[in-house]
Amino acid sequence: MTKSLNAIAQKLMTTGMGILAADESEGTIGKRFAKINLPNTLDLRRDYREMLFGATEAMKNYVSGVILTEETLKQSAADGTPFRAILADADVIPGIKVDRGAFPMPGEAGEKITEGLDGLRQRLEHYAELGAGFAKWRAVITINDIAPTRNNIRANAHVLARYAMLCQEAGIVPIVEPEVVGDGEPGNHSMERCAQVTGDVLENVFKELRLAGVDLAGMLLKPNMVLPGLNSRDRPTVEEVARRTVDVLKEHVPAAVPGIAFLSGGQTDEEATAHLSAMNRLAGKPWPMTFSYGRALQNVALRTWAGRRENFTAARQAFAHRAHMNSLAAIGEWTN
Ligand code: 13P
């Protein structure tokens, strides 16, 4: 089993390819739709995902895996073709978000703890039968005057480890996502503070993963980049972000991990691409690094689609462009 987990992880990290995060919960996709004045209906959610997954050339050339929600994993295109079949045709591995969201943690710090362990073993068995090759669980780490607390870091790290071992038991590769959030409130922290918190979080996460007996060769890490908060006065260059991020990861992420797939976390589309490319130009990294972007791959395609099937072709072109740019970034060859 270890070997097949590692094989899935390696395939997700195929050179020049990355992961499309299309696992927005019903609530989150509803917020994205509301911004373009669309109602949050089952049909529109289906159409939107059909637009993305039907971008055949982009999917074949640049996307190794797609993270889905349970709704989408079981859904079909308007003509009745299951999304799983569409993805299989493009040789894309289907993945599944299995956490149930981040909920307020008791206390004064405004922190969150991710829920969803109850019944997870049974759900994972079911997802494996449906063909899911990998899963995702996102922990949210907040920075403010008192956060993150030690308690919150430890609680989230522990839950990530319990999730990861259950995934591996089911033959599913866990993507371990501890996100130090940069676009939250107040968001005025410096890049250095993000570096320190990210390092601390990763240290705790790998400690818990080891304690739980998680096979590091059969997982992927989905971290944030090291960035100042969105409202900070810090304005690091692309190269500074790249260097600081890779430094922190090198210090805390074991070389046994087969790959790192970043989240975009509120960066502009071009920033997310530029940072990834700059990181991949740096020498001496023990793991390949690629994208596992949600917004940075979808923003323009979503607006171009605007809820209309007649815009599918144009929206797919917009998506293909971003996927291509990020594919170049995954090999350090993107330039603006
Ligand atoms: P963003 O790239 O939009 O941050 O989303 C990636 C993701 O999957 C967050 O869990």
For the stretch 111-145, pLDDT in tens is: 999 999 999 999 999 999 999 999 999 999 999 99
**179, 263, 300: which to mutate for ligand 1, most atoms within 8 A of CB?**
263
**How distant is the alpha carbon of residue 61 from its chain centre?**
19
pLDDT tens, position by position, 54-81: 999 999 999 999 999 999 999 999 999 9
What is the average pLDDT score of the chain?
97
What's the 16 CA to ligand 1 centre distance in angstroms? 19
Instruction: Give the CA distances from residue 40 to residues 29, 36, 51, in Å, rounded to whole numbers and listed in that order.
Output: 7, 11, 16
- Model pLDDT, residue 183: 87
Q: Residue 97 and residue 261: Cα distance in Å, rounded?
A: 15
Is the pLDDT confidence value at 2 over 70? no
The interface predicted TM-score (ipTM) is 0.90
pLDDT band at 336; cut points 50, 70, 90: confident
Give the residue among 313, 321, 309 at the shortest CA–CA distance from 48: 309
Please return the burial class of 135, using the count of CB atoms within 10 Å of its CB with bins 0-12, 13-18 and 19+: buried
What's the 108 CA to ligand 1 centre distance in angstroms? 26
Helices 120-129 and 150-169, axial angle in degrees (round to 10): 40
The question of whether 207 is a catalytic residue gets the answer no
Nearest CA to ligand 1 atom 5: 294
Instruction: Show the tokens assigned to 254.
Output: 């074991």
Give the N- to C-terminal CA distance of the chain in Å, as an integer: 42
Tell me which DSSP letter residue 179 carries.
Answer: E
The question of whether 177 is a catalytic residue gets the answer yes
What's the 264 CA to ligand 1 centre distance in angstroms? 6
What's the 182 CA to ligand 1 centre distance in angstroms? 12
Residue 137 near residue 116, CB atoms below 8 Å: yes
- Model pLDDT, residue 3: 63
- Model pLDDT, residue 314: 98
Nearest CA to ligand 1 atom 8: 21
Q: Which atom of ligand 1 is nearest to the CA of 293?
A: 2
pLDDT band at 157; cut points 50, 70, 90: very high
The arithmetic mean of pLDDT across residues 35-57, rounded, is 98
Is the pLDDT confidence value at 1 over 60? no
pLDDT band at 266; cut points 50, 70, 90: confident
Q: By three-state DSSP, how is residue 180 classified? A: strand
pLDDT band at 48; cut points 50, 70, 90: very high
- Model pLDDT, residue 121: 98
Given 111, 177, 179, 208, which residue is catalytic?
177
Amino acid at 86: I
What's the 90 CA to ligand 1 centre distance in angstroms? 22
Residue 182 near residue 229, CB atoms below 8 Å: yes
Instruction: Please tell me the pTM assigned to this model.
Output: 0.98
pLDDT band at 184; cut points 50, 70, 90: confident
Tell me which DSSP letter residue 213 carries.
Answer: T
Q: Ligand 1 pocket by C-beta < 6 Å: which residues?
A: 21, 138, 177, 263-265, 293-296
Helices (H), the chain: 2-12, 26-35, 42-53, 56-62, 70-73, 83-89, 120-129, 150-169, 191-212, 238-252, 269-281, 295-305, 312-330
Percent of the chain with pLDDT over 90: 97
The arithmetic mean of pLDDT across residues 222-243, rounded, is 97
